[in-house]
Amino acid sequence: MFELLKPILVPIHRDGWPFVAGFAVVMIVLALLWAPLGWIGAILTGWCAYFFRDPPRITPTRAGLVISPADGIVQMIQPAVPPAELGLGPQPLTRVSVFMNVFNVHVNRIPVEGTVANLAYRAGKFFNASLDKASEFNERQAIALRLADGRALAVVQIAGLVARRIRCDLKPSQAVRAGERFGLIRFGSRVDVYLPDGVAPLVALGQTTIAGETVIADLAAAEPARHGEER
């Protein structure tokens, strides 16, 4: 019986419990005022718990694989200069942008094994995260990872239109493994991955990714960038 319930009884991220508790209190108050309002509160409480779900993931462990840091849709693949505050230079790198809507899991995961070389937070605006200008103007937490071969890979958490809190638990010089949880963004957002020079993405525009599971690039592959079509 427990195995049957495992897909339903998904753990909730610790950051979500205060929100779930707050929604539950509101639900009780609404129910005391008028029973139908209590049902509305129950639905909102359930949605809040659903938003902060933190399901386990099975991460491919072969060295060199770059794993998606976020659940969502690959919305942009294009050359772009990494955030200046990371100090990775002015050369454009291939940027893979994964957009998360309010129904996606919002727990973010490390894309590749390495060491945290730099962390930089920058306050900003709250444009829709699906817009290209969100990379430049929105609130963001930028992370530079140093890989075993000396190359660097950047991950950027970007707040969206309704996102108002970016959490990043990483520390400078921390050793990390692909698939490990490192933070989350509340209520709609985007995560950008800047691949090392010469590395082509193995996902296509519009593809759905799963954090900690979907391979978005292979550091050792010579395969050209992939393209896809709706079928």
Tell me: do 175 and 122 sit in the same domain: yes
Is the model more confident about 176 or about 23? 176
Q: What is the pTM of this model?
A: 0.88
* Token reading at 110: 């490390």
Q: Are residues 34 and 134 located together in one domain of the fold?
A: no
pLDDT score recorded for residue 186: 78
Does residue 231 lie in a domain region? no
- In order of 102, 137, 143, 188, the CA distances from 128 in angstroms are 12, 11, 21, 9
189 in catalytic set: yes
- The answer to the question of residue 179 being in a domain is yes
What are the residue ranges of helices labelled H in 34-185?
35-51, 134-137
How many domains does one find in the chain? 2
Work out the average pLDDT over 83-105.
Answer: 93
From 68, 97, 135, 189, active-site residue: 189
- Specify the pLDDT at position 225: 81
| Nearest residue to 168 (alpha-carbon basis) of 69, 66, 83 | 69
Residue scoring higher pLDDT (91 or 6): 91
Phi and psi, residue 127, nearest 5° = -70, 165
Report how far residue 200's alpha carbon sits from residue 49's, in angstroms, rounded to the nearest whole number: 37
Q: 70 and 23 in one domain?
A: no
pLDDT in tens, 19-69: 888 888 988 888 888 888 889 989 988 888 888 899 999 999 999 999 999
pLDDT band at 2 (very low <50, low <70, confident <90, very high): very low
Query: Do 35 and 90 sit in the same domain of this protein?
Result: no
Does position 192 have pLDDT exceeding 60, yes or no? yes
Residues 99 and 203 in one domain: yes
* Window from 76-85, 96-105, 125-134 with minimum mean pLDDT: 125-134
Identify the domain containing residue 47 by its residue range.
2-51
231, burial (CB in 10 Å: exposed 0-12, middle 13-18, buried 19+) = exposed
Q: Is residue 227 part of a domain?
A: no
- Please tell me which residue, 36 or 187, carries the higher pLDDT value: 36
pLDDT of 121: 94
CATH of the domain at 102: 2.70.70
> How much is the pLDDT for 130?
66
For residue 102, the model assigns a pLDDT of 82
Q: What is the pLDDT of residue 215?
A: 97
Per the prediction, the chain carries an average pLDDT of: 88
Residue 5 has pLDDT above 50, yes or no: no
State the CB neighbour count (10 A cutoff) for residue 156.
Answer: 24
**6-20, 54-68, 96-110 — which is least confidently predicted?**
6-20
- Note the pLDDT tens digit of each residue in 154-165: 999 998 766 568
CB count within 10 Å of CB 75 equals: 19
Give the mean pLDDT of 172-187: 93
Q: What integer pLDDT is reported at residue 3 of this predicted model?
A: 53
